[in-house]
Amino acid sequence: MFNLYTLDNGLRVVTEYIEHVNSISVGVMVQNGSRNETKDENGISHFIEHMFFKGTEKRTAKNIVQEIENIGGQINAFTSKETTCYYLKSLNTQMDLCLDVLSDMMLNSKFDEEEIEKEKGVVIEEINMSEDNPEDVLDDIHSKAIFGGNSLAYPILGTIDGIKSFNREKIKQYIDRHYTPYNSVISICGKFDSDELKKKIEFYFGAWNTSDKYQPQYTIPSLHSESAYTEKQIEQLHINLGLQGLPYADDKAYSLLLLNNVFGGGASSILFQKVREELGLCYTVYSYPQTYLGIGTLNIYTGLSKQFADNALEVIDKELREFSHKGICEETLKINKEKIKASYILGLESTSSRMFANAKSVLLQNKIKTQEDVINRINKISNEDIDCVLERCFKPGIISSAYVGQSIDINKLNSIIK
């Protein structure tokens, strides 16, 4: 059972009651991420996520995590390109403590100068670790290739020089502008007393007030036909190929999910069966959509020995062209409707996953997306919808490319897929 309402201060609240569980997941999701940053601010959203755990007026950094872990709960956070989320999960009997700790972090963090300097070292090590991971590097350079100078191209972690430039004043100013009740949602899923929960949310979050009603406005970029390459002394060549995708909550979003599932979404997909199983050119190959407000991409990833790269790219390009023109038969459509319905339902087995899904839907669409709504939309996917997505996303072919490896001829590889 869902409930959606707004506090007097503008904070939206979405709750979902589940009778058969004894847990509760609580999260505050803010419409702020690397896409909201200027170039000089890049990385500050992720850095702020870290700093909210570094102590309040009444809790030390250790106390914040210890109070939740001592009751067997979990506390964490993540930053993406468009959102930041702070969340907890515990037994439903600990709802009051969860709300207390979460609100204390969000509203009373000290941002101590000494802690800021220490955390710079932590985040710089996180950046170094990411740069040692070829798939992370690939994702970052491909974002720059396909999104150009738009803030969607900015790395979520930021840069080492950028992290070093942050200070308390800059952090506080950014929070004052970008962390408001108006661009935030509190999402709760699990077993609770609705009346008691409403009172507790008002008690802990009702005093959150800001002078500005910040509502993010994004410039929608065009997709660039560019290529990027980073030289790394590693065994494999990692490849990411970019296609036109669909924006978040597009009417044809589930049709794209279905087609992606057929083309490269699993072990029975065209790409996996052809490139790996039949030809043995790689261990990993798959495709996946990335959706943002106003724009989206469809990506094809593979990691393989560079000696097989030419052949693999030829096969991927050939299969993409054939798939975009042949489409799928009625039986394949029927089977994959069931597959993506099952995947969606299985993905909502935990209170945490449902809490995240509800938060994002309300934050970015201002509405609840029920399981029945989603199943109904999947069931209604028609041949016309499939043809439309093939035309929009698959037929234009590969737009951009990115490579991470050593000693490759990028021009030669690009000539295969252009």
Residues noted as catalytic: 49
- Say how far apart CA 131 and CA 137 lie, in whole Å: 6
SS (H, E, C) 181-200: HHHEEEEEEECCCHHHHHHH
Q: Are 63 and 104 in contact (CB under 8 A)?
A: no
Angle between helices 371-379 and 253-264 in degrees, nearest 10? 70
Q: What is the signed CA dihedral for 55, 58, 60, 65, rounded to 10 degrees?
A: -90
Cβ atoms 150, 95 nearer than 8 A = no
384: number of Cβ within 10 Å:
10
DSSP designation for 223: P
CA separation for the pair 245, 255 (Å, rounded): 11
End-to-end CA distance of the chain: 50
* Contact criterion met (CB below 8 Å) for 261 and 336: yes
How far apart, in whole angstroms, are the C-alpha atoms of residue 320 and residue 231?
27
Tokens 């790409």 belong to which residue?
A: 271
Q: Name the strand (E) or helix (H) holding 239.
A: strand 237-244
Q: Distance (Å, rounded) from C-alpha 105 to C-alpha 85? A: 12
- Rounded distance between C-alpha atoms, residue 61 and residue 69, angstroms: 13
* CA-CA-CA-CA torsion sign (240, 244, 249, 255): negative
**Please, what is the angle between helix 168-178 and helix 113-131, to 10°?**
80
Distance of CA 389 to the CA centre of its chain: 22
Contact 272, 252 (CB under 8 A): no
What are the phi and psi torsion angles at 336 (to 5°)? -80, -20
